[in-house]
Amino acid sequence: MLSWGGRTSTRALPLPLLLTHWVLTLLPSHDQEKERSWHQQELDKALESLEKEKMELETRLREQQAEAEAIRTQREEERAEAESALCQMQLETEKERVSLLETLLQTQKELADASQQLERLRQDMKVQKLKEQVWRVDLGGKERWHRHAPLAWTSSVLLLCKCECGKCTCYPPGDRRVYGKTCECDDRRCEGLDGTVCGGHGTCSCGHCVCETGWFGKLCQHPRKCNMTEEQSKSLCESADGILCSGKGSCHCGKCICSAEEWYISGELCDCDDRDCDKHDGLICTGNGICSCGNCECWDGWNGNACEIWLGTEYP
């Protein structure tokens, strides 16, 4: 109940108390005062009980907030630890991947070197068993040299020599790059299309490049290490359709290393097939030139689609 100027206001009381108040106004004055005092005491007790409950609820709320904050802090710490562990795991995985990649590249190099050595041994065995003879026919004032068995092979390409009294005379005449007991050494095979010997990173020995330290490849054209990321390297090895080295080789330092098992695959992106070059006597470019993406690049003194025509003079 509320009082203003000695009068009691009942507008703020709940309906049950309001009814009680109206009933009390009808009782005798003494009983009414007594009843009013009792109700006031009950009301004070109810208010005190509500105040205690309020304090208990506030205390419980603060405790729950403290517990929630502790749980949140604990979860933040656990999340930070999990992220740190994941980052460490990713670093270790990346190190393992790089190590495996280096091992793979080294294995590929060793396999390529072993394949080249095996091929050299095979050709050396053929050179020991075979010999070659040539004969000359006039063709409109020009001379053309033809092969006859027995033949001499080296580096997978047939070479010519003229055998007289058990001694071979190599051709082209006067070209010191072709030599050997059976003309098995042809240092022209160490030259690229631009004429550079072993890519400028090695020396030629009997038609085979001996690379300097830090370089490898048939023409010493591949550096063992380079200053570029794997992504940069792959971007230089991808063809227009996004395939790495045309699917026929591996990428190293931005250059394609074509599969050694498929000897006929060549080109900057391993996209050329040397079998497409013209042949004569069953030989690509007749053994007198280099196949460059389907076209024969003839050596000096030779002409024709398959480099089958000799334009020089007869042997000295």
Cα–Cα distance measured from residue 307 to residue 280, given in angstroms and rounded to the nearest whole number:
8
Q: Which domains does the chain have, with CATH numbers?
A: 106-225 (2.10.25.10)
List the chain pLDDT tens, one digit each, 316 residues.
Answer: 444 444 445 455 566 666 666 655 655 556 667 888 888 888 888 888 889 999 999 999 999 999 999 999 999 999 999 999 999 999 999 988 888 888 888 888 888 888 887 887 777 676 555 434 333 333 333 334 433 333 333 333 344 567 778 788 887 777 788 888 888 888 888 988 788 999 999 999 998 999 999 999 888 988 988 888 888 888 899 888 888 898 888 898 988 988 877 878 888 888 888 888 888 777 888 878 888 888 888 887 788 888 888 776 654 3
Provide Rg for the chain, Cα atoms.
49
pLDDT at position 26: 56
pLDDT at position 120: 77
DSSP state at residue 85: H
What lies within 8 Å, CB to CB, of 249 at 6+ separation is 256, 257, 258, 259, 265, 270
Helix pair 29-129, 15-26: axis angle to 10 deg: 170
With contact defined as beta carbons under 8 Å apart, do 291 and 299 qualify? Answer: no
